[in-house]
């Protein structure tokens, strides 16, 4: 359908809504979801809490989300070993909404946001939606951060927001705290470290949350969509200094987070141990997948996330298509020639390996 007759913003003409194909395929390894559904005890607790909330749905929810922020502070303190308070936490409908709120508060017309590719393909869309100029530099060949490149880009563009995913999507690369520290020293504006995959990091890999006390312009974002197996609950959050939270509160929509969302997230946090129980299985399966792909002679990026980037193929689309024909959906993303597979259950990964062995994709 043509949108031409509508007074659509010029930069939106011809653009498509973002999203991976949602295909009905037996093995879905394309959006980095946790393949394990919540255990029955958690399902029952969510249902009971939702029933209680339902009785009060005539009222608006707590727009400051205080109880949830308290619970998030407790959880993130446990995960990172850093003491955090509710005033340092802020939740929204997925960390996608958090990013948009950050750009609404700190980006905007006449301002620039910067990131380093290959990275999350949603970032340019948040920038577009908030009228923020978007500039991307390059990561190194091993997908690590190229600090001289960061320095040059920061110098040239003076970004008010610098966004880095760690572990990075789609490469899986985690950043050293020393690199993040260096970026914070270089950058004049806000530095956002997107730790959507933080819980999957390998032992000994630190969280940027450790640097919060030192750097008031640092923001760390997290989500319950991945490790917590709560993608359908739409709950992301940030941790930062209380001033950052106050800034974001100015631009948030009133009552942006429904009573049901807040309650479901609180129940999930109260059952964190049960929901996160499969994280170690997924990490082991990830490491096994990396090892297996390397044995087959593929190039594989180091991964601290719940997915693996591998290649390189002369025609990656043909490989993606062939896997799909064998009932395995992965993601055609990242630099040319690479493909990304999310880590599923051991049975799903076996089907992935079988399907990949049946493809005859030519290596680049």
Binding site for ligand PLP (CB under 6 A): 32, 94-96, 120, 165, 169, 194, 196, 223, 225-226, 231, 236
Nearer to ligand PLP, 303 or 355 (CB): 303
| Residue 194 CB, nearest approach to ligand PLP (Å) | 5
| Residue 98 CB, nearest approach to ligand PLP (Å) | 8
* Tokens (6 digits) for 272: 């964190």
Nearer to ligand PLP, 95 or 262 (CB): 95
| Residue 292 CB, nearest approach to ligand PLP (Å) | 23
Residue nearest to ligand PLP (CB): 94
Nearer to ligand PLP, 53 or 231 (CB): 231
Torsion angle (degrees, nearest 10) of CA 53, 54, 60, 65: 30
Sign of CA dihedral 351, 357, 360, 364: positive
| Residue 196 CB, nearest approach to ligand PLP (Å) | 4
CB atoms within 10 A of CB 354: 12
CB contact burial 1-17 (16+ within 10 A = b; e otherwise): eeeeeeeeeeeeeeeee
Cβ neighbours of residue 199 closer than 8 Å, sequence gap 6 or more: 79, 226, 227, 228, 276, 279
Nearer to ligand PLP, 20 or 151 (CB): 20
| Residue 235 CB, nearest approach to ligand PLP (Å) | 7
* Tokens (6 digits) for 295: 């044995």
Nearer to ligand PLP, 236 or 311 (CB): 236
Nearer to ligand PLP, 120 or 313 (CB): 120
Closest CA to 98 of 221, 227, 264: 221
| Residue 221 CB, nearest approach to ligand PLP (Å) | 7
Nearer to ligand PLP, 224 or 355 (CB): 224
Task: Identify how many contiguous H helices and E strands the chain contains and give both numbers.
Answer: 12, 12
CB atoms within 10 A of CB 232: 11
| Residue 205 CB, nearest approach to ligand PLP (Å) | 16
* Tokens (6 digits) for 213: 């006390």
CB atoms within 10 A of CB 345: 15
């Amino acid at each position: 359908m043509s949108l031409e007759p509508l007074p659509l913003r010029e930069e939106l003409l011809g653009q498509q809504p973002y999203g991976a194909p949602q295909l009905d395929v037996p093995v879905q390894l394309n959006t980095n979801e946790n393949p394990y559904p919540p255990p029955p005890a958690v399902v029952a607790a969510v249902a009971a809490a939702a029933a209680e909330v339902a009785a009060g749905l005539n009222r608006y929810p707590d727009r400051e989300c205080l109880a949830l922020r308290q619970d998030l502070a407790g959880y993130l303190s446990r995960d990172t070993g850093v003491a955090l308070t509710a005033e340092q936490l802020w939740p929204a409908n997925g960390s996608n909404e958090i990013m948009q709120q950050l750009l609404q508060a700190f980006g905007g017309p006449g301002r620039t946001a910067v990131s380093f590719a290959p990275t999350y393909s949603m970032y340019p869309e948040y920038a577009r939606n908030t009228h923020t100029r978007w500039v991307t530099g390059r990561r190194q060949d091993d997908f690590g951060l190229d600090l001289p490149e960061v320095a040059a880009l920061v110098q040239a563009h003076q970004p008010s927001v610098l966004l880095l995913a760690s572990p990075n999507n789609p490469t899986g690369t985690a950043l050293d705290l020393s690199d993040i520290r260096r970026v914070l020293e270089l950058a004049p504006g806000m530095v956002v470290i997107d730790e959507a995959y933080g819980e999957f990091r390998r032992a000994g890999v630190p969280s940027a949350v450790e640097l919060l006390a030192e750097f008031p312009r640092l923001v760390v974002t997290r989500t319950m969509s991945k490790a917590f197996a709560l993608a359908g609950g739409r709950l992301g959050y940030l941790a930062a200094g209380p001033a950052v939270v106050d800034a974001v509160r100015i631009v948030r929509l009133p009552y942006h987070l429904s009573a049901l969302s807040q309650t479901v997230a609180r129940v999930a946090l109260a059952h964190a141990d049960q929901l996160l129980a499969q994280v170690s299985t997924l990490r082991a399966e990830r490491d096994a997948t990396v090892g297996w792909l390397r044995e087959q002679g593929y190039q594989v990026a180091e991964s601290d996330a719940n997915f693996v980037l591998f290649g390189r193929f002369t025609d990656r689309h043909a490989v993606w298509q062939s896997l799909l024909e064998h009932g395995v959906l992965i993601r055609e993303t990242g630099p040319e020639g690479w493909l990304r597979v999310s880590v599923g259950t051991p049975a799903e990964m076996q089907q992935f390996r079988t399907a990949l062995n049946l493809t005859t994709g030519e290596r680049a």
